[in-house]
């Protein structure tokens, strides 16, 4: 039975490792530049979308509240009509009472229905006032929703323009970054990624500039400078932890 040949991963030399790390840093810095061009737009778009969801939820809840108050008002109006009908009924019955006992009972019922009407009228006023508050709150939220919707559309257009302008280049750079990562040791990549996230400029690999680290600008001891140019091992800045490379590795020609 034929066996598949196992793909062997070539172990990189120190010089190859340093060269790939610097290439990776160069590509990642270009990707960072595109992200800087986008600025806070992606975050702003996401925040606005979340805010719109919240405003729509609030407006829907206010609509439910308004409908509830309408229902309460309708019920109280129905109660008033019912009480008024009963009052008319009891007043007609007063014409046919046979004794004081019946008269007092009907009079009491009439008074109770009048109180019921007063109570319902009071409840209608209270519900109407609360409904008006919800209507005003809805108007404010709707106005805010429209403003945020306009902001979102503007931000989206701005972001889409940048994405359209940089999309092709970004894909190319992401592919180049993936290629530059190939073959690098996992521990080196983990250290590289950790350092990148530690600094705002995302610089994890720096050149030696006038005897100093190009990342933190602290002086590098002469002996360490010599070791960096020899490229026999990966050397990190003792101050900031960035990997240091010489001008040859960086492809920089001194004048």
Count of CB atoms within 10 A of residue 174's CB?
13
CA-closest candidate to residue 243, choices 183, 199, 187, 195:
195
**CATH of range 41-180; options 1.20.58.100, 3.40.190.10, 1.10.287.1490, 3.40.50.1000:** 1.10.287.1490
pTM greater than the 0.85 cutoff: no
Q: 100-181 vs 41-94: helix axis angle to the nearest 10? A: 170
| Token duo for residue 116 | 């019921």
Burial 139-153 (b: 16+ CB within 10 A, else e): eebeeebeebeeebe
The pLDDT of residue 11 is: 83
Task: Report the alpha-carbon distance of residue 62 to residue 6 in Å, rounded.
Answer: 66
Is 214 within 8 Å of 26 (Cβ atoms)? no
State the pLDDT at residue 253: 55
- The partner residues of 245 in beta bridges, in order of sequence, read 207
Q: 100 exposed, middle or buried (CB, 10 Å; 0-12, 13-18, 19+)? A: exposed
Sequence ranges of the domains in the chain: 14-37+185-250, 41-180
Average pLDDT for runs of 10 along the chain of length 255? 48 91 95 87 94 97 97 97 95 90 93 96 96 97 96 94 88 94 93 94 94 94 94 94 91 60
Rg (CA), the chain: 39
pLDDT for position 6: 42
Three-state secondary structure readout of 215-251: CCCCECCHHHHHHHHHCCCCCECCCCCCEEECHHHHC
Residues 6+ apart with CB under 8 A from 35: none
Q: Tokens for 243, please give them.
A: 């990997």
Q: Which fold has domain 14-37+185-250?
A: Helix Hairpins (1.10.287)
């Amino acid at each position: 039975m034929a066996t598949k040949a196992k793909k062997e991963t070539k172990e990189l030399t120190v010089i190859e490792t340093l060269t790939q790390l610097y290439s990776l840093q160069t590509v990642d810095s270009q990707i960072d530049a595109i992200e800087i061009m986008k600025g806070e737009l992606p975050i702003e778009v996401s925040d606005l979308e979340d805010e719109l969801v919240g405003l729509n939820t609030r407006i829907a809840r206010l609509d439910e509240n308004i409908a509830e108050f309408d229902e309460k008002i309708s019920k109280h109006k129905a109660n008033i009509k019912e009480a008024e009908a009963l009052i008319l009924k009891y007043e007609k019955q007063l014409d046919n009472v046979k004794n004081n006992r019946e008269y007092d009972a009907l009079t009491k019922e009439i008074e109770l229905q009048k109180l019921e009407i007063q109570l319902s009228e009071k409840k209608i006023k209270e519900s109407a006032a609360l409904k008006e508050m919800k209507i005003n709150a809805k108007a404010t939220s709707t106005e805010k929703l429209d403003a945020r919707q306009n902001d979102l559309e503007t931000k989206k257009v701005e972001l889409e323009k940048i994405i359209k302008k940089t999309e092709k280049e970004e894909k190319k750079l992401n592919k180049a970054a993936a290629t530059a990562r190939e073959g690098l040791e996992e521990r080196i990549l983990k250290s590289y990624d950790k350092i990148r996230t530690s600094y705002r400029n995302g610089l994890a690999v720096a050149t030696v500039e006038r005897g100093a680290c190009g990342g933190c600008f602290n002086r590098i001891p002469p002996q360490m400078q010599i070791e960096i140019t020899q490229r026999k091992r990966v050397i990190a800045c003792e101050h900031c932890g960035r990997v240091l490379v010489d001008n040859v590795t960086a492809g920089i020609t001194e004048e």
